[in-house]
Structure 1
Amino acid sequence: MNNLLKATAGGLAGACVLTLLHETVRRLVPDAPRMDVLGMRSISKLMLAAGEEPPRDQQELHSWALVGDVISNSVFYTLAGTGKDAWWRGALLGAAAGAGAVYLPGPLGLGEEPSNKTTKTQVMTVGYYLMGGLVAAAVGYALSDDED
């Protein structure tokens, strides 16, 4: 298996863990980050800007947001790569994504509350993305050859 395929497997694993974590904890913790809400807002905003009508059905829009999150985060986390250096790359990517998820939604016109509601929400947001980066790194590392 080549390194790009291995890194992609790691990226997909990190993205799936991130999405599973978000979707589970948001049902249990009142101040949990709501990245699904940001995803739904992003899709609606982009579709409207393109002259298209976003799905009216909130469940359908939510499903689109989850699929978009998994795809975009998979591509991003693939950058963690393989080998022993995947660990620092995955940690850096995860921390950067978490910080971006806290600080960028407001300036992008998506609202601040879903990822910035409380300090607890902010810490959880960064922690989730860091976890995703570390999972991507762990899988990339585990799949790497000895010479990586």
Structure 2
Amino acid sequence: MRLKADTKDAQMKLLPSLAAGFAGAIALTALHEAARRLRPQDAPRMDVLGERGLRKILNLADLPQPSEGELYTATMLGDILSNGLYYTVVGSGKHSLRRGLLLGVTAGVGGVVLPGPMGLGEAPSNRTPQTQAMTVAWYTVGGLVAGAVSQALRQRRK
């Protein structure tokens, strides 16, 4: 009987965490897409990094390359999935906003620092100081959205 209760308890925590994580990921992706259309000169281009990464993986696996449209769609879906799962770590506890802030800042700094060493190029997230700041800010906003949604869902359960 205890195993069933533990499983149900874990599910009760997982679903709100997933919802919060994907809310943060959708907010992040919406910000990136809006900024790249409104400020093409210095907006972060995480879509370009994602496309480069996907092309690299497909080359390593000796798989055919998708068309530009298919590549963009796959990258957007991959971004939402991976960022949604990342922000799920915010969880459903009472410090979810703080965790969201920390996870967001960490992801943003990683988005600025890691692409170069990973062989994806630096310009998409590191082109100008404004690009760097927006990269960190957008990921932070995603983390805060995840934290806020998590808090709201936690309050609703009470």
Higher mean alpha-carbon deviation, 138-147 vs 67-76, is at: 138-147
Higher helix share: 2
Identity of aligned residues (%): 51
TM-score by length of 2: 0.89
Shift of 1:84: 2.3
Partner residue in 1 for 2:78:
68
User: How far apart in 2 are the matches of 1:115 and 1:53?
Assistant: 27
Partner residue in 2 for 1:83:
93
Note if contact 1:3-1:144 (Cα within 8 Å) is conserved in structure 2.
no
Partner residue in 1 for 2:7:
none
SS in 1 for 2:90: coil
**Any unmatched runs of 5+ in structure 1?**
none
Deviation digits for residues 67-87 of structure 1 (CA, Å, limit 9, x no counterpart): 000000000000001132101
Give the aligned CA root-mean-square deviation in angstroms: 1.5
**Any unmatched runs of 5+ in structure 2?**
1-10
Deviation digits for residues 102-140 of structure 1 (CA, Å, limit 9, x no counterpart): 000000000000000000000000000000000000001
Shift of 1:4: 0.9
Shift of 1:145: 4.7
Alignment of 1:63-142 (within 5 A): 63-142=73-152
Matched, 1:41 2:21: no
Equivalent of residue 52 in structure 1, options 50, 57, 63: 63
Counterpart amino acid of 2:135?
Answer: T
TM-score by length of 1: 0.95
Note if contact 1:98-1:127 (Cα within 8 Å) is conserved in structure 2.
yes
User: How far apart in 2 are the matches of 1:37 and 1:58?
Assistant: 11
Q: Higher Cα Rg: structure 1 or 2?
A: 2
User: How far apart in 2 are the matches of 1:84 and 1:146?
Assistant: 13
Matched, 1:13 2:23: yes
Moved over 4 A (4+): 145-148
User: How far apart in 1 are the matches of 2:46 and 2:30?
Assistant: 12
